[in-house]
Structure 1
Amino acid sequence: MATFAYGRVSTADQTTENQRQEIERAGIVIDYWFADEGVSGKVPAAQRPQFAQLQQQIRAGETLVVSKLDRLGRDAQDVGATIKALAARRIEVIVLQLGKLDLTSPAGKLMLTMLGAVAEMERDLLVERTQAGLARAKQQGTELGRPAKTNDSQRLAIIAQHAKGASISELARTYEISRASIGRILKAQPDAA
Structure 2
Amino acid sequence: MKNTFIVGIGGTLRSDSSSERALRFCLDKAAGAGARTAMFSGEDLRAPLFEPGQAIADGSMRRLVDALRQADGVIIASPGYHGSISGSLKNVLDYTEEMARDERPYFEGRAVGCIVSAGGWQAAAATLAALRAIVHALRGWPTPLGVLLNSAEPVFEADGRCRSAETAGALGIMTQQVLDFASTRRAVFPDARVVAKRVATAG
TM over 0.5: no
Structure showing greater radius of gyration is 1
* More RCO (CA 8 Å, sep 6+): 2
Q: Structure 1 length normalisation: TM-score?
A: 0.36
Q: Structure 2 length normalisation: TM-score?
A: 0.34
